Amino acid sequence: MIIGSHVSFGKEQLLGSVKEAISYGANTFMFYTGAPQNTLRKSIDENLSKEARKLMKENDIDINNVICHAPYIINLANNDESKYNFSITFLKGEVTRCEDLGIKYLVLHPGSSVGLDRNIALDNIVYALNQVLKSETKIMILLETMAGKGTEIGRSLEEIKYIINNIIEKGKIGVCIDTCHLNDAGYNIKEFDNFLDEFDKVVGINYIKCVHVNDSKNDINTHKDRHANIGYGTLGFNTILNVITNTRLKDVPKILETPYIGEHDEDKERIYPPYKFEIEMLRNGIFNENLLEDIRNYYKNLK
Ligand code: FE
Ligand code: FE
Ligand code: ZN
């Protein structure tokens, strides 16, 4: 199983990400090239990238399974002039950063229509992506399936299909399915094989290049997008285990984006990453009822 989590990309850039992934026992990971909610970016340090690639090799992390995620504030759906052009330019920069790092996949939220007709918003996304994806582009952009919060585009497989259908460079576009988002968008992934059949009919299963593995705090079709820890949401441990062990997605990287565990300790609020424990639990295939306590105890004893 190719499984990892969201990790940070700090002072040590990709090298820091690799070290964090290794600390979770992961064999892949996903990072943002800076804060996910802003577009301030430092240039890529090739020395750190080299060291990162070496460390990946030593730890059996295949760089072809590593994922980059574009920041949320890129919006290719709304053509409000300055923001639209900024989003396109920034996305081109992200593509270049991925190419410099040697990363193959860049996950992107398709965008939000805001005040626009959804069909126009879809065409805006298509136009923008065709500006970014050229024959010489070395990476693939993965459209993430969205929960449908607010005016998000990408809440249905038909919208994803529409975008893909209109991309000129077909080999450079793929899909990242997110279990929380699919549930919140109204897809029943408790019957995951049925869902995959539908996905295959509408989009084509071979377009799936990444799975975001999250439980959901909300019921199906609520369009909320609030992630829960594995087994602590409405999907439940077995549903998620079933998704990530499905043989049809065997070679697809699985990435956890579950929330950090909070704790009130010595009058301070602390938060701990759940990933080491969630990865272990999913590899074992057995739900750990004491997961949250185990995480708190582990990180408490570390400091
Ligand atoms: Fe995302
Ligand atoms: Fe996601
Ligand atoms: Zn989400």
pLDDT of residue 269: 86
Near ion ligand 1, which residues have CB within 5 Å? 144
- Phi/psi of residue 48, each to 5°? -65, -40
pLDDT exceeds cutoff 90 at 267: no
pLDDT band at 37 (very low <50, low <70, confident <90, very high): confident
pLDDT band at 259 (very low <50, low <70, confident <90, very high): very high
pLDDT of residue 79: 80
The ligand with the least distance to the CA atom of 259 is: 3
The ligand with the least distance to the CA atom of 227 is: 3
| pLDDT above 70: percentage of residues in the chain | 100
User: CA 17 → CA 40, 51, 129, 214, 247, distances in Å?
Assistant: 18, 12, 27, 20, 28
pLDDT of residue 99: 97
pLDDT exceeds cutoff 90 at 274: yes
- Residue 6 CA to ligand 2 centre (angstroms): 10
What single letter denotes the amino acid at residue 84?
A: Y
pLDDT in tens, 83-136: 999 999 999 999 999 999 999 999 999 999 999 999 999 999 999 999 999 999
The ligand with the least distance to the CA atom of 228 is: 3
- Residue 81 CA to ligand 1 centre (angstroms): 24
Beta-carbon neighbour count of residue 285 at 10 Å?
A: 11
Evaluate whether 264 touches 221 at the Cβ level (below 8 Å).
no
- Residue 109 CA to ligand 1 centre (angstroms): 6
Beta-carbon neighbour count of residue 270 at 10 Å?
A: 15
Q: Please, what is the average pLDDT of the chain?
A: 96
- Residue 58 CA to ligand 1 centre (angstroms): 29
Number of H helices, E strands in the chain: 10, 14
Distance, CA of 207 to CA of 204 (rounded, Å): 6
- Residue 144 CA to ligand 1 centre (angstroms): 6
pLDDT of residue 41: 86
For residue 69, give both structure tokens. Answer: 């995620």
- Residue 144 CA to ligand 2 centre (angstroms): 7
The ligand with the least distance to the CA atom of 211 is: 2
- Residue 114 CA to ligand 2 centre (angstroms): 20
Nearest to 48 by CA among 82, 14, 71, 85: 14
Mode of pairing for the β-strands spanning 105-108 and 67-69 = parallel
- Residue 215 CA to ligand 3 centre (angstroms): 10
pLDDT in tens, 183-192: 999 999 999 9
pLDDT exceeds cutoff 80 at 182: yes
- Residue 40 CA to ligand 2 centre (angstroms): 21
Nearest to 149 by CA among 110, 109, 184: 184
- Residue 257 CA to ligand 2 centre (angstroms): 7
The ligand with the least distance to the CA atom of 183 is: 3
pLDDT in tens, 134-167: 999 999 999 999 999 999 999 999 999 999 999 9
- Residue 154 CA to ligand 1 centre (angstroms): 11
pLDDT of residue 42: 85
- Residue 284 CA to ligand 1 centre (angstroms): 26
